[in-house]
Structure formats: C-alpha cells, structure tokens
Amino acid sequence: MRCPSCGNLESKVVDSRPSEDGTAIRRRRECLDCGRRFTTYERLGENPLIVIKADGSSEAYDRQKLMRGLLIACGKRPVSPEQIASLVDSIETELRNASCNEIRSKELGDMVLVRLAKLDDVAYVRFASVYKDFQNVEEFAAALEGLR
C-alpha cells in the first residue's frame, strides 16, 4: 500500500479490525520509510454497481466520488470522516442487500439525503443544493421546511 505522505510502497500493519457493519477490514498501517501512520480498508470484490444518470448515460459507481461530495457538504461541520464513511457503508450495504446492479442517480441521491438529514442539517442543505440544482431562494426554503 502506497504511503499517502511519501509514496513509499512498504508499510507494516499495526492494527487490524472489522468495520462496524462487518463489510470491511480496517487496517492501521505505518510507513517503513517516513513512519507516518494511515488507515486502509479492505472490502470484498463484487459485481460493479452501475449508476444511471439523469441524461440516461451510465457510469460505474465510484465510492470516492460520493465521499468527496459528502466531505465538501460536511466541510467545517461537526461531522467526522468516520461518520461519512459509515453513511456511505450503510448505503452500499443496502444496495448489496437489495441485490441491485443498477441504480438511478436520483435514487442514490435520495438515499444520501435521508441519512444526511439525520447527521447534520447544514450538510443536508449543502448537498441538496447541488444534488437538486436549486435555482432560487424558494427552493432553498422548501428544503429547509423539509427538515422540520
């Protein structure tokens, strides 16, 4: 595993434990070159999930793309990266349990919003404003009303 600090490929596993939902193994690693510690996750390889976009095109589901969007929405909010990873894990678990190979981007976005509303109101509105492409203040107000 490549060290995120120095790029060295050699590291040792310091700690290993299953994730909360049991779908991954969390490993704490230490770079043998610079000594920095970092976390990796090992997940079961599966059939790829396809996301059908609004324009009808499709692309492979990308966990990192979803994580980036959530990290931006949760920026400067009291939401930890572990909480975001847990949110994404719960979505992936639900999709695996439903045995679906395709999902519409709207359905995926709705799944995120349901979970994000329980986590942080501001992050919910930030994510919704991009996901739902708000065009005016009234659409923001409607989203805020939905939180009550």
Summarised one tens digit per residue, pLDDT across range 5-16 is: 999 999 999 999
C-alpha span between 113 and 61 (Å, rounded) = 17
Residue ranges per structural domain of the chain: 1-45, 46-146
C-alpha span between 147 and 71 (Å, rounded) = 20
Q: What angle do CA 59, 86, 55 make, to 5 degrees?
A: 20
* Residue 47: pLDDT band with limits 50, 70, 90: confident
C-alpha span between 126 and 74 (Å, rounded) = 8
Q: How far is CA 131 from the centre of its chain?
A: 14
Helix (H) or strand (E) holding 85: helix 81-97
pTM exceeds cut of 0.85: no
Assigned token pair, 41: 């996750």
**What does the pLDDT look like over 51-76, one tens digit per residue?**
999 999 999 999 999 999 999 999 99
